[in-house]
């Protein structure tokens, strides 16, 4: 207070400058954008959403691998592992080796993806043997794995495994059989490390080397590169994730867009007409809301059974639109009822505005903020719905990939090749997370009244 002087109390010179509003006027949307930019979480989410869209739309142009092509050399291949195959001679039958050194269950030669040759000695008390293969050690529960062969005499003490071999570790067990073929407690087990091999003919057949290339047995050749590995049919995960993104995001964004659009139309008509028509329209909406959503999605899917060659994307889209519009309709109707009573509507009407002008110029634009927030929150739940339905086998039909159906396939091999489940799961989670956070941000930015409400 003390540093005020009389000079401060002189009247200002009369001029225009003191009256000028120095801040530029901001439209509603400019203001909202500024507030959204200040919200770091929402901004990061926006970048993630843009990234996902780029992944879906631009990705397939950069990574042009066909998502349906099977790479049979690399089935269920985790990402980032070596992809070298050693060239070996073509397979030839083998009938055991009497002079094979060693005792007990042993390998006759190095185990490869072409063949694993086992030989063993007669187990105590055995009248025959059964050969098993497992991905895990036998353990105290005596889990031997899948039975490969049953030999009901003690003459044949060798076995060749050529069944669907993949590089990695296998546990082979030979179990003694009693006189009637029953399993005895006696067994031997062997851990085998399998090397990936290929033959010259195979390599040429699968375009790994050109037909006139000079390759010898023992050479190493590089296999196709799969940055995110392959699935259980040897299909490229990255390409499938991109193709799946197209389906998941098409449903996830397309369906909410359509039902929100319909909801806006329905709600504004009801709100504007009022009276009996409004009553009737809202009772109808109440009725649709009361229907159990996922049950109806399933019934819908059965009713419009998917024929061969169809993906089932379209029925799912239609079902979502038919069942999910009422929430938006209710919301928009409430907004319209509020806006209808506002002063600027009366003013506009006094100036001679007709009803369509009022609706399209004043009412709908004023509900857009709320509608945009609804849309943003509808997207993650639509993506969840698609994933849920595809997961229980009620969504898109194979071979069309979607993140949900990929998870469904991945969960079956979760213990051995978790990447087949984890990648689609990460994409679903990331997308849902990004849209949820973006929705929070938009809600805060667009409508202060809705802040902190759930």
Partner 1 sequence: MWMYILKRLLQGVLTVWFIATATFFAMHNVPGDPLSNERAMTEITRANLEAKYGLDQPLFTQYRIFLVNLLQGDFGISFVQENREVNDIIREHFPVSAILGVLAVIFAATGGVLLGALTALYRNRLPDYIIMFLVILGISVPSFVVAALSQLTLVTLNTAVGRTLIPVAGWGTIMHMLVPALVLGLSTMAYLTRLMRSSMLEVTSSDYVRTAKSKGAPPTRIFTHHQLRNAVLPVVTVLGPAIAAITTGGFVVELVFAIPGLGRYFVEAVQQLDYTVIMGTTVFYGAFLVFMVILVDVVYGFIDPRVRLEK
What whole-number distance in Å separates Cα of residue 355 and Cα of residue 343?
A: 15
Query: What is the crossing angle of helices 313-340 and 237-273, to 10°?
Result: 40
Minimum CB separation of residue 189 from partner 1 in Å reads 17
For 154, the token pair is: 């003690």
Contact call for residue 413 and partner 1 (CB under 8 A) = no
How far apart are CB 72 and partner 1 at their closest, in Å? Answer: 27
**Which residues have C-beta within 8 Å of that of residue 330, sequence separation ≥ 6?**
267, 282, 285
Query: Does residue number 265 form part of the binding site for partner 1 (CB under 8 A)?
Result: no
CB of 417 to partner 1, least distance (A): 12
Residues 126 and 184 sit within 8 Å (Cβ to Cβ): yes
Q: Does 391 bind partner 1 (CB under 8 A)?
A: yes
Out of 54, 89, 222, 414, point to the residue binding partner 1 (CB under 8 A): 414
Query: Does residue 50 belong to the site contacting partner 1 (CB under 8 A)?
Result: no
Gap between the Cα atoms of 384 and 401, Å rounded: 15
- Binding partner 1 (rule: CB under 8 A), the pick from 104, 393, 398, 399 is 393
Q: Is 244 in the site for partner 1 (CB under 8 A)?
A: no
Size of the site for partner 1 (CB under 8 A): 42
d(CA 9, CA 177): 112
Please say whether the dihedral angle defined by the alpha carbons of residues 425, 429, 435 and 436, taken in this order, is positive or negative.
positive
Residue 433 binds to partner 1 (criterion: CB under 8 A)? yes
State how far the Cα of 107 lies from the Cα of 162, in Å rounded to an integer. 14
As a dihedral over the C-alpha atoms of residue 320, residue 322, residue 327, residue 333, rounded to 10 degrees, the angle is 150
Rule CB under 8 A: say whether 294 interacts with partner 1.
Answer: yes
**Residues between 371 and 390 with contacts to partner 1, criterion CB under 8 A:** 380, 384, 387-388
Contact range with partner 1 by CB under 8 A, out of 110-118, 186-194, 250-258, 422-430: 422-430
Whole-number Å distance between alpha carbons of 282 and 288? 10
Residue from 107, 190, 221, 299 binding partner 1 (CB under 8 A) = 299
Q: Residues 334-373 vs partner 1: string with x where CB under 8 A?
A: ----------------------------------------
User: Residue 387: which of 258, 255, 244 has the closest Cα?
Assistant: 244
How many CB atoms neighbour CB 225 within 10 A?
10
> Considering only 145-153, 214-222, 302-310, 335-343, which stretch makes contact with partner 1 by CB under 8 A?
302-310
Compare residues 120 and 435 and give the one whose CB is closer to partner 1. Answer: 435
Query: Nearest-CA neighbor of 401 among 387, 417, 384?
Result: 387
Does 291 contact partner 1 by CB under 8 A?
A: yes
Which is nearest to 247 in space by CA: 395, 391, 71?
395
The residue ranges that bind partner 1 (CB under 8 A) are: 286-287, 290-292, 294-296, 298-300, 302-305, 307, 380, 384, 387-388, 391-394, 407-408, 411, 414-415, 418, 421, 425, 428-430, 432-433, 436-437, 452-454
């Amino acid at each position: 207070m003390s540093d005020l002087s009389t000079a401060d109390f002189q009247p200002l010179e009369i001029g225009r400058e003191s009256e000028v509003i120095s801040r530029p006027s901001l439209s509603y949307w400019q203001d909202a954008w500024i507030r959204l930019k200040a919200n770091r979480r929402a901004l990061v989410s926006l970048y993630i959403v843009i990234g996902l869209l780029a992944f879906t739309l631009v990705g397939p142009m950069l990574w042009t691998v066909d998502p349906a092509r099977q790479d049979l050399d690399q089935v269920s291949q985790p990402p980032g592992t070596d992809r070298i195959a050693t060239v070996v001679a073509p397979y030839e039958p083998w009938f055991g080796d009497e002079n094979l050194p060693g005792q007990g269950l042993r390998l006759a030669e190095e185990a490869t993806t072409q063949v694993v040759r086992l030989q063993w000695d007669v187990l105590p008390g055995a009248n025959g043997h059964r050969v098993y293969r497992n991905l895990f050690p036998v353990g105290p529960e005596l889990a031997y794995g899948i039975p490969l062969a049953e030999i009901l005499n003690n003459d044949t003490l060798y076995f060749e495994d050529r069944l669907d071999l993949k590089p990695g570790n296998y546990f082979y067990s030979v179990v003694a059989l009693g006189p009637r073929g029953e399993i005895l407690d006696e067994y031997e087990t062997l851990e085998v490390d399998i090397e990936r091999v290929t033959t010259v003919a195979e390599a040429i057949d699968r375009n790994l080397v050109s037909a006139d290339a000079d390759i010898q047995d023992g050479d190493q050749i590089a296999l196709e590169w799969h940055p995110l590995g392959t699935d259980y049919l040897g299909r490229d995960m990255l390409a499938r994730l991109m193709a799946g993104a197209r389906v998941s995001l098409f449903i996830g964004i397309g369906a909410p867009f359509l039902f929100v659009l319909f909801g806006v139309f329905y709600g504004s008509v009801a709100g504007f007409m009022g009276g009996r028509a409004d009553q009737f329209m809202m009772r109808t909406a109440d009725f649709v809301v009361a229907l159990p959503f996922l049950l109806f999605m399933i019934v819908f899917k059965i009713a419009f059974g998917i024929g061969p060659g169809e993906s089932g994307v379209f029925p799912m889209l239609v079902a979502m639109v038919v069942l999910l519009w009422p929430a938006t309709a209710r919301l928009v109707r409430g907004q319209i009822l509020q806006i209808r009573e506002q002063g600027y509507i009366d003013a506009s009407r006094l100036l001679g505005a007709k009803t369509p002008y009022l609706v399209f110029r004043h009412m709908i634009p004023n509900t857009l903020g709320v509608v945009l927030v609804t849309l943003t929150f509808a997207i993650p739940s639509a993506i969840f719905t698609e994933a849920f339905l595809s997961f229980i086998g009620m969504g898109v039909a194979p071979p069309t990939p979607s993140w949900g159906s990929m998870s469904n396939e991945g969960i079956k091999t979760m213990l051995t090749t978790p990447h087949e489940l984890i990648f689609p799961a990460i994409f679903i989670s990331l997308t849902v997370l990004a849209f949820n956070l973006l929705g929070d941000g938009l809600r805060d930015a667009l409508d202060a009244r809705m802040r902190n409400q759930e």
